[in-house]
Amino acid sequence: MTFQKAIMKWYDREGRELPWRVKGGLRQDAYKAWLAEIMLQQTVVKTVIPYYLKFLKKWPTVENLAKAKEEDVLREWAGLGYYARARNLLKCAQAVVRDYNGAFPDQEEELRKLPGIGRYTAASVRAIAFQKPANVVDGNVERVMARIYAVKEKMPAAKEKLYTLAGKLVPRERAGDYAQALMDLGATICTPDNPQCDKCPVQKFCKAYAEDAPEKYPQREAKKAVPQKYGHVYWLMGKDGVLCERRAEKGLFAGMVGLPTSTWELKQGKTKPPVKALWKKSGLIKHSFTHFDLTLQIWHASAEKYDKIKESYFWIQKKDIYDAGLPTLFKKVLPYTLGAAAATANSTGRKRAR
């Protein structure tokens, strides 16, 4: 039995059941395949599923999505991270409707002309939506190839070699099923730690298994230390609600709704709150980005009167704050500040009652 037949037999029996997936060589709707692949970039499956279902319910076709407002897309995307994906999602939908009459092209070179679609996503859409041969290589597939061939070169330098090796195995038929089978193998059996080699359908082809050293691959360069940054975040309850900020159009969380913050520095700087008020500390939150870790000191205050606020600031009713589309960083503030704000308001009310 060939490598391809062995893994396909396993996939037909053991492949994961996912809401964007069809099996048996059937073609998935291109819009659904594309939407899932964009969401799955840098994000685990269990996190993506509710977002995918929510998006499909709100925008069931590419034409529906193309008509959406960016702020609505960003709000529904909030919590998935890597927000440039959401902006490109909308731009891509608009381009498909405008330039391709609402039908995704089936050629990789055409797909890669669309916003937010690179080599991996183009290959994935071609394979899954059209069942046409394409070399679909993500991190899971890289790990499988590194172990099958016991590739000695270290990552990330080995990426192109792994891509070439994977390309030599792509079958002519059931290309989408094969691509998803490889990804499933890497996600469920050929895992980074403690791979289940005894359950692997392609064990007999694996050189790393023959060496009794699967976890040795893929080999990697030593990781560089991630910088640590610090800053302040502010929760202000006013007569009009919670003070929020529309983030600048460039940088992290570009164009999204957030809470006012200081700049983020390598050393904790002095607090510079958005308005004069009796500010009190509420705790610390930590968050990890791709290139740095962040610690923010939370401050809370209540004020019925305040100085003129910045043009980018606006108010959201407290009851609506959870539905405001806050990125995960700012959602981490809410358990501290909602409790603190409520306590402050209750305390103020009791003093007035006396």
Domain boundary among 159, 184, 216: 216
Of 64-78, 243-257, 293-307, the range with the highest mean pLDDT is 64-78
Q: What percent of the chain has pLDDT over 90?
A: 73
Q: What pLDDT, on the 0 to 100 scale, is given for residue 248?
A: 85
Distance CA 180, CA 165 (A): 17
pLDDT at 303 > cutoff 80: yes
Give me the CATH number covering residue 292: 3.90.79.10
Q: What is the DSSP letter of 155?
A: B
The mean pLDDT of 199-211, rounded to a whole number, is 98
The mean pLDDT of 289-301, rounded to a whole number, is 93
pLDDT at 350 > cutoff 60: no
Distance CA 244, CA 234 (A): 9
Q: Are 129 and 30 in contact (CB under 8 A)?
A: yes
Sequence-ordered alpha helix ranges (H) in 194-318: 207-210
Give me the CATH number covering residue 96: 1.10.340.30
Nearest alpha carbon to residue 32 among 1, 50, 10, 59: 59
Q: What pLDDT, on the 0 to 100 scale, is given for residue 195?
A: 97
Buried b (16+ CB within 10 A) or exposed e, 37-66: bbbbbebebeebeebbeebbeebeebeebb
Distance CA 193, CA 57 (A): 36
Q: What pLDDT, on the 0 to 100 scale, is given for residue 224?
A: 85
Task: For residue 37, indicate whether it is catalytic.
Answer: yes
Residue 233 lies in domain: 228-353
Inside any domain, residue 255:
yes
Residues 57 and 197 in one domain: yes
pLDDT band at 346 (very low <50, low <70, confident <90, very high): very low
- Three-state DSSP state, 260: coil
Distance CA 143, CA 217 (A): 7
- How many domains in the chain? 2
- The enclosing H or E element of 295 equals strand 293-302
pLDDT at 340 > cutoff 60: no
The mean pLDDT of 87-115, rounded to a whole number, is 97
Q: What pLDDT, on the 0 to 100 scale, is given for residue 354?
A: 28
Inside any domain, residue 222:
no
Q: What percent of the chain has pLDDT over 70?
A: 95
The mean pLDDT of 25-34, rounded to a whole number, is 89
Residues 173 and 243 in one domain: no
Residues 173 and 253 in one domain: no
Domain boundary among 155, 187, 216: 216
Q: What pLDDT, on the 0 to 100 scale, is given for residue 339?
A: 64
Instruction: Encode pLDDT of 39-59 as tens digits.
Output: 999 899 999 999 999 999 999
pLDDT band at 240 (very low <50, low <70, confident <90, very high): confident
Residues 193 and 267 in one domain: no
Q: Are 247 and 256 in contact (CB under 8 A)?
A: yes
pLDDT at 347 > cutoff 50: no
Q: Are 111 and 86 in contact (CB under 8 A)?
A: no
Residues 303 and 278 in one domain: yes
Q: What pLDDT, on the 0 to 100 scale, is given for residue 348?
A: 36
pTM for the model? 0.79
Catalytic residue among 17, 37, 142, 311: 37
